[in-house]
Amino acid sequence: MTIATEQSLDGSHPLTMKKATRQVRDHLALIGTATWIGGGILLVLGIAALLAPVLAPYDPDAIDYRALLSSPSADHWLGTDELGRDIFSRLLFGARLSLLVAFASVLIGIGAGVPIGLIAGYVGGVVDELLMRVLDSIIALPPLVLALTISAVLGPGLVNATIAIAIVSIPTFARLTRGQVLSIKNNDYVLAARSVGVRPFLILVRHILPNVISPVIVQATLGIGFAIILESSLSFIGLGAQPPTSTWGSMVQVGFEYLDIAPWFVICPSIAIFIAVLGANLLGDGLRNQTMRR
């Protein structure tokens, strides 16, 4: 709109409109591409993880002492690790756990965060104040530091890492939901429902929740990328997946000892993490731009 106004000062109105439409179309195309690429990446990774037993050229746990730390070749596309295990196969199987942890923690985060946000926003008053202060105190700790501390208390392991990541993500969903509730709870249709005596629970579920869903989906997509980074960081530090279980992050952890002689051992799982997170970020960002436009 601004483009059109600026240009129309020159008196070249028809051209401006054309130009403006083209720019908007280009812009839409660009955002669309990002969304498609991001969604495509996640879809391919998801399918690869599901079909890991079919796609993997080797048994991910098969030890081969004749091929320790061998570099990428026709036999082993991404090389082998310190026990001669095929890194590509291990990445495929690792994807299952890495993605599962990310999805599960985001779902738990939503499951706890959205109801908290709904209640805080709708009830207001002391309840809101109390819930918000608790969330503030969770946010006072940086995500990784909090996840580390929780994992330390619960003990190392993937299930505990999932819980830790879920707890870290609760405030984001709760605050987002609360903001949405506050912005719509005094809309006419909500007031109307309240005035005819609809129970608060039904108002929340039927009239308010639907408005919360799309920003939550956007945040969940971005949250998956964040969860993948957190899980891999925890595993990298030694508090996530414990051997013999392995995720992308724990592969990086072991690989770092061999960085000078077998860089692929660190780089391949790291790039897998990067691609997955990039996919989630592109998709989340694209979806956000589209919902904002609406």
Using rule CB under 8 A, residue 61 touches another protein: no
Residues 30-49 that bind another protein (CB under 8 A): 30
For another protein, the closer CB: 188 or 260 = 260
Minimum distance, C-beta of residue 2 to another protein, in the bound complex (Å): 5
Interacting span for another protein (CB under 8 A) from 24-32, 55-63, 70-78, 113-121? 24-32
Using rule CB under 8 A, residue 95 touches another protein: no
User: What does the H/E/C string look like for 222-271?
Assistant: HHHHHHHHHHHHHHHHCCCCCCCCCCHHHHHHHHHHHCCCCCHHHHHHHH
Copy the structure tokens of residue 36.
């498609």
Using rule CB under 8 A, residue 259 touches another protein: yes
Sole binder of another protein in the list 13, 18, 25, 27 (CB under 8 A): 27
Sole binder of another protein in the list 165, 176, 241, 282 (CB under 8 A): 282
Residues 124-183 that bind another protein (CB under 8 A): 133-134, 136-137, 140-145, 148-153
For another protein, the closer CB: 30 or 47 = 30
How many residues of this chain bind another protein (CB under 8 A)? Answer: 46
For another protein, the closer CB: 26 or 75 = 26
For another protein, the closer CB: 3 or 68 = 3
Alpha-carbon distance of 180 to 212, in angstroms, equals 6
Alpha-carbon distance of 138 to 171, in angstroms, equals 7
Using rule CB under 8 A, residue 112 touches another protein: no
* Nearest residue to 116 via CA among 75, 169, 161, 63: 169
Using rule CB under 8 A, residue 291 touches another protein: no
Interacting span for another protein (CB under 8 A) from 76-84, 100-108, 197-205, 231-239? 231-239
Minimum distance, C-beta of residue 58 to another protein, in the bound complex (Å): 24
State the residues that interact with another protein by CB under 8 A.
2, 6, 23, 26-27, 30, 133-134, 136-137, 140-145, 148-153, 225, 229, 232-233, 236-239, 252, 256, 259-260, 263, 266-267, 270-271, 273-274, 277-278, 281-282, 285
